[in-house]
A and B are shown apart, each in its own frame.
Chain A
Amino acid sequence: MSVKRRDQVSGQLTTGHEWDGIEELDTPIPKPFVWGYLIAFLVALIMWIALPSWPLPSSMKWPYITSYWQGLLGSDAERVERRLAELAAQQKAFDDKINKADLAELVNDPKARKLLMPAGAVLYREHCAMCHGPDAKGQPGFPNLVDDQWLWDGEVEGIYTTIKYGINSSHEETQSAEMPGFLKDESLTKDQVRDVVEYVRSISGQEHFPEAAKRGAVVFEEDGACSGCHGEGGAGGLGVGAPNLTDKHWIYGGDRDSLYRSIAEGRKGVMPHWVDLLREAEIRQLALYIKWLGTPEKQVAKVSSVSIPTTAK
């Protein structure tokens, strides 16, 4: 049989077993450990009584257990629902103020600007920044929002409409525009496309071949093929989605390859409609934010009678 031995360090007896030189002391369970177990069980018991916990038999037929102890405090999920309803009510009060206010007046109210800009920035970074960039300066295919150029109506109501229904979106009230592919639909020849490229480079102040540009100018203006949307001399600003071609801002690029592709194959950028994803008040705040982004603060009129639509101090 096994032989117990007293350990010199702890003064405990060993159990007398030994495996490959490993022995075990017969130390009693430490007191804190016993108390710990009891307390843990007690807390668990309280949880079980207070909250939904153990399944209960509730029927004499298979599968017998179809119910569970509902808990004295009831379901957590219901508590979460109630809290969400409270918060939704609080949010609605704020939304109502924003929705009742006139956007055109709000946009000129420096106090509203000061109060609404931070939340607008959060909304922008949450929903818009992935395409238009964190600084709203756009990226290839997605227009810059902070310059003074607008493809569509640049007033706050116009921006609001664009955000709400989108451009070339799947919403029935969407604004639509398309740059046709002039080579694709065979209305221009390859040489003509190259000429127009040179012309566009000339009016945007880039290096170009003057002879070709001259020929391109004729095509550009002829029958309003290009100028009908891009304006006379390509100056844009018609609010129909066609950009100004005389400045340094490009959506798809001002180099020869990009221009050639734009004219030959056409472009049809899409801005999704946000009416189904965002609350009315959020769309309005975003419209204000975008408008304010491109407007220096000092231009905002000093006088305003609009009440501040926020409870924040």
Chain B
Amino acid sequence: MEKNSCRAECAISLLPVLAVAALGGVFTLVGKEPILVFHGAIMALSGALAALYLFRKMLAPPAEIPLEYNDKIIRAAVIMILIWGIIGFGVGDIVAWQLAYPNLNFDLPWTNFGRLRPVHTTAVILGFGGNALLATSFYVVQRTSRARLAGQVTPWLVFWGYNLFVFLGVTGYLFGVTQSREYAEPEWYADLLALLVWIGYFWIFLATLARRAERHIYVANWYFLGFIIAFAMLHIVNNLSVPISLEYAKSYSLFTGVQDAMTQWWYGHNAVGFFLTAAFLGMLYYFLPKAANRPIYSYRLSIIGFWGLVFTYMWAGSHHLHYTALPDWVQVLGMSMSLILLVPSWASVFNGFFTLNGAWHKLRYDPALRFMTLAVLFYAIATFEGVFMALKPVNALSHYTDWTVGHVHAGALGWVAFITIGSLYKLVPWVWHREGTYSRRLEAWHFWLALSGAVIYVGAMWNAGITQSLMWQTYDANGQFVYSFMDSVDMLHPYYVARAIGGLLYLVGFMIGAYNIWLTINPPTPAEIPSTPETRPLPASGVVAQPAAQPAE
């Protein structure tokens, strides 16, 4: 038995890798846009390197697979979280300043708002968020299954392929390559790469769960798996398009008119629902009880919360298209499902907060736990607010205003990034085998900077959005506007400056965090690095059907 050789896995992986290399080669040869030739060359080069790597693995003699968790892949993803985080938050703050002072685009095509804004969204959602999910899902699924991550080469192909996808997207935008689909701007060839990556991710996750040494699958893994499956479906359908040729990057969507709009917001809303909510709840369900050292408040609530969330979210996307050409009945269904969605969302809020019962005192000295707790609070606020914004009468006030921007950043800055950062401060010492982070003081600085930044940002946008909408809706007794659109734009200026300052605080906080994590990884005074043994070592054989009985504590 050549149990440890990579023959089958490497051979199967070779196909998609060669396909990417071949497509890249074609672009390099026939491409007529410099950016497509550049992308083609990068794809061909990456594909060729990956193929070489696979060949070497295939020809190598069967090696012993170490009986330990695969943490190297997690360390790599952590580094990418930091890199994409700084790029994403940095570009976000640049576009925030551009909105306050439009001349800051310096009249260059590459730096105008329309091109930089998707760089921001892609870098934070797919770059920062996506790598955070790779890192934490790989960590959680191994620990809670007591099994080494499946696959010898697939995790690395997924990691590099995924980051190549984000890189292709972000660099393409700067040169005007975009599908103009919210949160799905990368063109068709990058989308195909992402699809291949996703199949690999799905396989790794399932195969790891299949070899678990625990009888039950922990709830965090339900969320991760639900996210992987749902996002595959969303990604495929939303990106169905016809490329115009192999010489240019452009493609056209398979859908037209209001169907296209509905497809985009079905995707867009569920990108928020499954990528930014469900998957990060998976993170919450592991790192919060770990950090608080408390049991999950209610197993039943996590079941109801999970199934309620995944069932209801899928219906809610049409609330982005209230009072448009979208048929009334679709709008009403979206509105009603959004209302119901509050309840399963708050199931996780209940579970998050009450899990802290008996551990609230730890917030005083553990900034990471404070990050996670505030994340739950922001999640509670954002989901509550979202329900109201989805109601048509409220939507008539909030839609097309900066309130929407404030809402999404309450979720993104307050929930997604806070839970990620909180988890990161726990994860990094664990996978690098350190006692703790380099400095709790710096963690605290990061916390307060991030919190003030988020509050300033969201507060400014709430005020700006509601004022904006009220100005648009103010008429005199003769039915004439009291304010011109330009008046509402002038009104926004101080709020836009405040928002950019809030964003700057957030960015500075994150850079302090990255510095702190860097010094945790590379301590300035290299202490004797203890090789702390795993508290719960892997079972001796790869697969154990019957877990050993756990003694009551």
Q: List the B side residues contacting A40 at CB < 8 Å.
A: 339-340, 342-343
Q: Does A232 lie at the interface of the complex (its beta carbon under 8 Å from any beta carbon of B)?
A: no
What 1/0 mask marks residues of chain A from 10 to 45 whose CB sits below 8 Å from any chain B CB? 100011011111111111111001001100110110
Q: List the B side residues contacting A14 at CB < 8 Å.
A: 295
Q: Does A85 lie at the interface of the complex (its beta carbon under 8 Å from any beta carbon of B)?
A: no
Q: Does A257 lie at the interface of the complex (its beta carbon under 8 Å from any beta carbon of B)?
A: no
Contact: B300 with A29, CB < 8 Å?
yes
Q: Does A304 lie at the interface of the complex (its beta carbon under 8 Å from any beta carbon of B)?
A: no
Q: Does B8 lie at the interface of the complex (its beta carbon under 8 Å from any beta carbon of A)?
A: no
Contact: B333 with A53, CB < 8 Å?
yes
| Complex CA–CA separation, A125 to B339 (angstroms) | 40
Q: List the A side residues contacting B327 at CB < 8 Å.
A: 52, 68
Determine how close the nearest CB of chain A comes to the CB of B330; give it in whole angstroms: 9
Q: Does B144 lie at the interface of the complex (its beta carbon under 8 Å from any beta carbon of A)?
A: yes
Partner of A36 from the list B296, B346, B549 (CB cut-off 8 Å) is B346
| Complex CA–CA separation, A125 to B216 (angstroms) | 65
Contact: A126 with B553, CB < 8 Å?
no
Q: List the A side residues contacting B549 at CB < 8 Å.
A: 1-3
Q: Does A184 lie at the interface of the complex (its beta carbon under 8 Å from any beta carbon of B)?
A: no
| Complex CA–CA separation, A17 to B553 (angstroms) | 12
Q: Does A129 lie at the interface of the complex (its beta carbon under 8 Å from any beta carbon of B)?
A: yes
Q: Does A9 lie at the interface of the complex (its beta carbon under 8 Å from any beta carbon of B)?
A: yes
Closest A-chain residue to B217, C-beta based? Answer: A19
Q: Does B329 lie at the interface of the complex (its beta carbon under 8 Å from any beta carbon of A)?
A: yes
Query: Given the known A-B contacts A27-B298, A29-B298, A47-B336, are A55 and B329 also in contact in the complex, defined by CB atoms under 8 Å?
Result: yes
Q: Does B3 lie at the interface of the complex (its beta carbon under 8 Å from any beta carbon of A)?
A: no
Partner of A24 from the list B146, B302, B308, B536 (CB cut-off 8 Å) is B302
Q: List the A side residues contacting B299 at CB < 8 Å.
A: 15, 17, 24-27
Query: Given the known A-B contacts A76-B328, A126-B486, are A21 and B535 also in contact in the complex, defined by CB atoms under 8 Å?
Result: yes
Stretch at the interface among A86-94, A236-244, A289-297: A86-94
Determine how close the nearest CB of chain B comes to the CB of A251; give it in whole angstroms: 23
Q: List the B side residues contacting A30 at CB < 8 Å.
A: 298, 301, 350
Q: List the A side residues contacting B162 at CB < 8 Å.
A: none
Taking CB atoms and an 8 Å cut-off, the chain B residues in 329-383 that contact chain A are 329, 331-333, 335-337, 339-340, 342-343, 346-347, 350, 354, 357-358
Contact: A23 with B296, CB < 8 Å?
yes
What 1/0 mask marks residues of chain A from 35 to 65 whose CB sits below 8 Å from any chain B CB? 0110011011001100111110000000000
Contact: A52 with B329, CB < 8 Å?
yes
Q: Does B550 lie at the interface of the complex (its beta carbon under 8 Å from any beta carbon of A)?
A: yes
Contact: A10 with B335, CB < 8 Å?
no
Q: List the A side residues contacting B218 at CB < 8 Å.
A: 17, 19, 22
Partner of A122 from the list B146, B300, B481 (CB cut-off 8 Å) is B481
Most central of B294, B347, B478, B482 by chain A CB within 10 Å: B478
Q: List the A side residues contacting B333 at CB < 8 Å.
A: 48, 53-54
Closest A-chain residue to B285, C-beta based? Answer: A22
Query: Given the known A-B contacts A20-B144, A22-B296, are A310 and B478 also in contact in the complex, defined by CB atoms under 8 Å?
Result: yes
Q: List the A side residues contacting B340 at CB < 8 Å.
A: 37, 40-41, 44
| Complex CA–CA separation, A8 to B298 (angstroms) | 15
Q: Does B392 lie at the interface of the complex (its beta carbon under 8 Å from any beta carbon of A)?
A: yes
Contact: A119 with B329, CB < 8 Å?
no
Partner of B477 from the list A15, A47, A311 (CB cut-off 8 Å) is A311
Q: List the A side residues contacting B346 at CB < 8 Å.
A: 33, 36
Q: List the B side residues contacting A122 at CB < 8 Å.
A: 480-484, 487
Q: Does B252 lie at the interface of the complex (its beta carbon under 8 Å from any beta carbon of A)?
A: no
Q: List the B side residues contacting A277 at CB < 8 Å.
A: none
| Complex CA–CA separation, A155 to B412 (angstroms) | 57
Contact: A52 with B332, CB < 8 Å?
yes
| Complex CA–CA separation, A9 to B354 (angstroms) | 11
Closest B-chain residue to A89, C-beta based? Answer: B479
Q: List the B side residues contacting A68 at CB < 8 Å.
A: 327, 329
Q: Does A224 lie at the interface of the complex (its beta carbon under 8 Å from any beta carbon of B)?
A: no
Partner of A119 from the list B290, B343, B358, B481 (CB cut-off 8 Å) is B481
Q: Does A205 lie at the interface of the complex (its beta carbon under 8 Å from any beta carbon of B)?
A: no
Determine how close the nearest CB of chain B comes to the CB of A6; give it in whole angstroms: 9
Q: Does A303 lie at the interface of the complex (its beta carbon under 8 Å from any beta carbon of B)?
A: no
Q: List the A side residues contacting B481 at CB < 8 Å.
A: 119, 122-123, 126
Contact: A125 with B484, CB < 8 Å?
yes
| Complex CA–CA separation, A123 to B331 (angstroms) | 34
Q: List the B side residues contacting A87 at CB < 8 Å.
A: 479
Q: Does B485 lie at the interface of the complex (its beta carbon under 8 Å from any beta carbon of A)?
A: yes
Q: Does A71 lie at the interface of the complex (its beta carbon under 8 Å from any beta carbon of B)?
A: yes
Determine how close the nearest CB of chain A comes to the CB of B309; give it in whole angstroms: 13
| Complex CA–CA separation, A270 to B386 (angstroms) | 47
| Complex CA–CA separation, A71 to B127 (angstroms) | 44
Q: Does B151 lie at the interface of the complex (its beta carbon under 8 Å from any beta carbon of A)?
A: no
Determine how close the nearest CB of chain B comes to the CB of A18; give it in whole angstroms: 5
| Complex CA–CA separation, A126 to B483 (angstroms) | 9
Contact: B482 with A25, CB < 8 Å?
no
What 1/0 mask marks residues of chain A from 157 to 201 whose CB sits below 8 Å from any chain B CB? 000000000000000000000000000000000000000000000
What 1/0 mask marks residues of chain A from 88 to 124 whose CB sits below 8 Å from any chain B CB? 0011001000000000000000000000001101111
Determine how close the nearest CB of chain A comes to the CB of B458; give it in whole angstroms: 25
Q: List the B side residues contacting A82 at CB < 8 Å.
A: none
Contact: A3 with B336, CB < 8 Å?
no
Q: List the B side residues contacting A4 at CB < 8 Å.
A: 552
Determine how close the nearest CB of chain A comes to the CB of B355; give it in whole angstroms: 9
Q: Does A75 lie at the interface of the complex (its beta carbon under 8 Å from any beta carbon of B)?
A: yes
Q: Does B545 lie at the interface of the complex (its beta carbon under 8 Å from any beta carbon of A)?
A: no
Partner of A71 from the list B214, B332, B342 (CB cut-off 8 Å) is B332
Q: List the B side residues contacting A77 at CB < 8 Å.
A: 323, 328
Q: Does A7 lie at the interface of the complex (its beta carbon under 8 Å from any beta carbon of B)?
A: yes
Determine how close the nearest CB of chain A comes to the CB of B386; give it in whole angstroms: 14
Contact: A20 with B536, CB < 8 Å?
yes
Q: Does B476 lie at the interface of the complex (its beta carbon under 8 Å from any beta carbon of A)?
A: yes
Closest B-chain residue to A23, C-beta based? Answer: B295
| Complex CA–CA separation, A134 to B486 (angstroms) | 9
Determine how close the nearest CB of chain A comes to the CB of B528; give it in whole angstroms: 26
What 1/0 mask marks residues of chain A from 245 to 271 whose CB sits below 8 Å from any chain B CB? 000000000000000000000000000
Partner of A2 from the list B219, B336, B347, B550 (CB cut-off 8 Å) is B550
**Besides A119-B481, A126-B484, 10 new A-B residue pairs in contact (Cβ under 8 A), listed by A number:** A17-B218, A29-B298, A30-B350, A33-B343, A41-B340, A51-B329, A68-B329, A77-B323, A91-B479, A123-B484
18 A-B Cβ contacts within 8 A? Answer: A9-B294, A17-B216, A18-B550, A19-B143, A23-B289, A33-B301, A36-B342, A36-B346, A47-B335, A52-B327, A54-B329, A55-B329, A71-B328, A77-B323, A119-B478, A122-B480, A122-B483, A125-B487
Return the 8 tightest CB-CB contacts between A and B, nearest first.
A9-B358, A125-B484, A27-B298, A23-B295, A44-B336, A19-B144, A24-B299, A52-B329
